[in-house]
Amino acid sequence: MKKIIAITLIILLIDQISKIYIKTNFQVNDFVSIMPGFKLTFVENPGMAYGFHFGGIIGKYFLVIVRIFLIGGMVYLFKNWLQRGESNYLIIPMSMIFAGAIGNLIDGMFYGLIFDSGTVYDESIDQWIGYGGISKLVPFGQGYSSFMRGCVVDMLHFPLVDFTLPDSWPVIGGKHIEFFKYIFNVADSAITVGAAFLLIFRKKAFPNGLEF
């Protein structure tokens, strides 16, 4: 149990510090080039990992509820796995996924309550509306929105390929080519890396098959 708690707290600490720093020092769509192929680019995401979202505010509520049930289910699984003495090949990756899920849940549930500005949902046009300026932390409950209406802060951007084709080229001239264009955060990274470890070491993680 100590291992699960330690991994979760370390990931959550890094995740939340990085998000709060970006939100209180960058305007939306601001970026800083750290090195070739790596930028810090601030975007706000009302939905899932890597910028995917659906269903407006109802979709957002649905995602928050799903994350709560997922986290609750994982607590139950951890209890069973620890009692059975499951290996670190299972416990460590699942702890990373667990921490990532909590990290993004915190944003969605509470960021609208603790920051003075952020992306909000306009029901009259069925769209999420951005904002200008740099956000500031405010006393709990005095933020720009209400419970469960906050947006996830993303900033990790790895445009390994990033160029514009010459205008003189026929048909495709002037087209911008970028890979990898998705912007994500530490919590998303923890979930992705944890899932990758489970896939790579699946025979050691699940020597007797998938058991709950």
Q: How far is CA 90 from CA 4, 9, 102, in A?
A: 11, 18, 18
Q: How far is CA 162 from CA 38, 44, 123, in A?
A: 11, 22, 35
Residue position matching structure tokens 């048909």: 171
Report the catalytic residues. 154, 188
CA distance 68 to 102: 8
CA distance 19 to 110: 13
CB 85 within 8 A of CB 112: no
- Tokens, residue 96: 């990373």
Residue 96 burial (CB count, 10 A): 25
Nearest of 90, 150, 139, 149 to residue 114 by alpha carbon: 139
Q: Which residues, listed in sequence order, are joined to residue 115 by a DSSP beta bridge?
A: 137
Helix crossing, 88-114 with 186-200: angle to 10°?
160
Residue 40 burial (CB count, 10 A): 18
